[in-house]
Structure formats: structure tokens, C-alpha cells
Amino acid sequence: MALQNDLVQVAPKILCWYGVPYHLTEAQRFNLLLHDLYLHTASGQEIEAFPKLNGKTTAFVYSFDHYAPALRAHSEELQIAAARKLAQYINTFASHNSIVVTRTLSQKVEQIFHETDVSFLQRDLTSELQFFRFLHSHVPTLFHEHERPMRHYIRVIPKELGEFRVFVKLLGRPGESNLTAKFVNLSLNGIGLKMHESRYRILDLRDAVQVTLRSPKMAIHIACGFVTRIDHTKDEIAISFNVSDKSFIDKPDAVQLQRLVLQTLERGARLELTKPDAISGKVLVV
């Protein structure tokens, strides 16, 4: 099932990772989005609901060290029992797109995962270099549609949507007053707007505009963007810009937009994973 709800219209590939060993910066997480990958740091409760997000564009990584942290100081028998329980759970829905990663050196633990046909990797991913090597070398093969085009047209609907007032200024037409609009959705390099006034019909595709978004909590200014879609039936337009280029948007404003995208994807994923029917009823806590 794809991630799609009131917060997310179009989602990237989703990597649900239980026990992420490396803390990504916001910039690193957004860069992964530009490469069509949202890494969702799953909480202990959410692991039970992973089947809810299972699908062709979803993959799962489990840290065995995080799953059974206290067992490394205890008997190998307890580690084997925990490994068997985790492997059995994975096999109920997603063995083909899951991998277990651990620093544990027990060959018997590794054997459990091999016997149950669950991918297993012994590697320390706490360093930045090893972590990103793993993302580039192992993660793409977990996705059923790993060769699909990257989704640069991700669209999210921030929960703060209704708080924003939006003003659009036409560049190159100094005599025109600002147009007003409503914030509709946000993508990696663009924004969708619903226009309040019929005067927007003077806009043409590729027109250059400035966009200012104001809410009680923030103000975001896009110095330059281009009209890339006009839908007269819905009174909506789409404006595209390069979030990484300061000639389009200054870095502080770009960071706020990036944060809105990331936070909305996180909220959307947690919304799916916490739905009552998402809970499988299986107890994985060891």
C-alpha cells in the first residue's frame, strides 16, 4: 500500500527503519528525498503496523541490536529466540523487501535468518560513511520497482496549510498589484496555489513570479519561480523553483520549506501506522 492520506498526495519510496543507527541531519534527509527516498525512523510501537505500509514502493530495515538491545550481554540462546521471533514476524508480510542489520557476531543468530529466508547483514552502520554506503548498495534492491523514474513530483499538504496567507507578484509587470491565493500543496521544487481573484487569468505559462507565504509562525519568501501549470477549472496554478539555488530562494526560506515537506511526510507516515486497523496484534517485544 502506498502512503496516501490527507497529508500526502504523492509519496516517494518509503524506507521504514526500526532502530536507525546514524542520526541524519535535516539536509541529509531532504537530499534523500531528492533521490526519491523518504527514510522513516520507526518507533517501537510502529513496528507492529509495518504491514499497513507494505507495497511495491516500501522497504524495511530492522536493527537487531535495537530490537534486542539487552540480549547482547546475556546468553546466545536468548539472542537466537529473539532472532527467530523477528524472522517469523517479517515472513508474515515482507521478507522480500526487508533486511536485518546487526553488529552481533553470533553465527547461530545469522543462521536463523538464513534458514527463514530473511536477508541479514553484519555491519556497523553508526558511521556516516558506512551508513550511506549501505543506503546506496543494499537499499535500492529492496524495492520491487527499483528501476522506476524518481518522483520529483512529491506532493504534501502541510497541516499548517490553512494558517498561510499567500501573495503572488508578477515579475516584469511592475504596474500589476499583488494577487492573493490559498496554499494548496507543496513539492520538492514547487508549490500549488488556488487563486482568489479572476485576475490570475492574465498569467501565462513560464511567467516569472514572486511568492510570499505568511502565517502566525513563519514567513517564507520565494524570490523567483515560474508558472508551470494553470488549471482554470479549479482556479489553481503551480509554480516551480529550485530550492537549492539562492537566486530562486534564500537558504533560510528554503530550509523552512524543506522542513515542512519532511515534517508532513513524517506525520503522514505516522498517521498510517497508528490507524487502529494497522495493528497486527503480534507482540514483538522481547
Q: Which three cell numbers stand for residue 285?
A: 517485544
* DSSP-derived pairing of the beta strands 219-231 and 179-186: unpaired
Residue 131 identity (one-letter amino acid): F
Q: pLDDT confidence of 150, banded at 50, 70, 90?
A: low
Check: CB of residue 24 under 8 Å from CB of residue 126.
no
| pLDDT (tens digit per residue) in 164-184 | 999 999 998 877 889 999 999
Q: Which three cell numbers stand for residue 186?
A: 507543496
Residue 19 region by backbone torsions, left for phi larger than 0, else alpha for psi between -120 and 50, else beta: left
Alpha carbons 202 and 40: distance in angstroms, whole number: 42
**Which of helix, strand or coil describes residue 90?**
helix
| pLDDT (tens digit per residue) in 30-75 | 999 998 999 999 988 889 899 988 888 899 999 998 887 755 556 7
CA-CA-CA-CA dihedral for 221, 7, 92, 77, to nearest 10: 50
**Residues contacting 108, CB < 8 A, separation 6+:** 76, 79, 80
- Indicate the average pLDDT of the chain: 88
- What's residue 278's pLDDT? 41
**What is residue 232's DSSP assignment?**
T
More confident residue, 221 or 71: 221
- What's residue 286's pLDDT? 47
Domains with residue ranges and CATH for the chain: 8-153+264-278 (3.40.50), 158-258 (2.30.110.70)
**Residues contacting 45, CB < 8 A, separation 6+:** 274
